[in-house]
Amino acid sequence: MLTVPEAARRVGKNPETVRRWIREGRLRARKVGTQHVIEEQELDRLTEDEVLPAPEWWDQTATGEPMPNWVASLRRQRAEH
């Protein structure tokens, strides 16, 4: 469980942005006392949706092989720590 400031630091956004996402219904959160708490999986779900598509010409390497999924690779590495 993350508080709004913790979630904001994790995604590199302002805490008010995270609060706006909660108000808009883009990010699910529960209220505990006066604070919103956010499940880490919910934050991950929201930020996964924000990945912009790569240009089509990035689909292959210079040798014609399929381009590796660098985002998935980085997420796996971070999850291992």
Domains of the chain are: 2-80 (1.10.1660)
pTM metric for this prediction: 0.59
- Write the pLDDT tens digit of every residue in 29-67: 999 999 999 999 998 888 776 656 667 777 888 888 888
**Distance, CA of 60 to CA of 72 (rounded, Å):** 17
**Full strand arrangement of the beta sheet holding 35-38:** 2-3, 35-38, 30-32
Say whether pLDDT at 25 is over 80: yes
Give the per-residue pLDDT at 44.
86
Q: Is 61 exposed, middle or buried (0-12, 13-18, 19+ CB in 10 A)?
A: exposed
> Which secondary-structure segment (H or E) carries 80?
helix 70-80
Mean pLDDT of 15-28: 93
